[in-house]
Amino acid sequence: GENVEQHPSTLSVQEGDSAVIKCTYSDSASNYFPWYKQELGKGPQLIIDIRSNVGEKKDQRIAVTLNKTAKHFSLHITETQPEDSAVYFCAARKGGTYKYIFGTGTRLKVLA
C-alpha cells in the first residue's frame, strides 16, 4: 500500500549548521509533497511544499528537492537556529485525492 519513509528519526545539529531530512514514497502517482513543522502541543504547520513537475523549491533558509525517478524528496534547512527545533513531517498526496500519507517524523534539535 501507500507508504512514506522518513529518515533520520532524530537529528542534532549545531546552530548555524545545515540539516537535511529525507523521505521516500512508494506510490508513483503521488504528485504533491508538503513539509510540516510541529511544535510541542501544537498542530503541524506547513513550511514548504513541492509539486511533481518541479525539481527544487527554495524559501529563504528552507529548500525542498524532489527526485521523481527515485521517489525521493528532501528538506534542507540552512543556517539553523534554536527556534528551528521541532518535529518535521514529510507527506505525499496522490493525484486526484485529498488523502495525505505522512512520514513518521524527524525530531530536530538545534544546539546553541
Partner 1 sequence: GAGVSQTPSNKVTEKGKYVELRCDPISGHTALYWYRQSLGQGPEFLIYFQGTGAADDSGLPNDRFFAVRPEGSVSTLKIQRTERGDSAVYLCASSKLGVPEETQYFGPGTRLLVL
- Using CB under 8 A as the criterion, which residues of the chain lie in contact with partner 1 when the complex forms? 4, 6, 32, 36, 41-46, 49, 51, 89, 91, 93, 95-105
Contact 21, 8 (CB under 8 A): yes
Instruction: Give me the least distance between CB of 8 and partner 1, in Å please.
Output: 14
Please identify, using beta-carbon distances, which residue of 4 and 110 lies nearer to partner 1.
Answer: 4
| Grid cell listed for 39 | 511544535
Instruction: Give me the least distance between CB of 77 and partner 1, in Å please.
Output: 18
Please identify, using beta-carbon distances, which residue of 15 and 59 lies nearer to partner 1.
Answer: 59
Termini Cα distance of the chain:
41
Contact 86, 35 (CB under 8 A): no
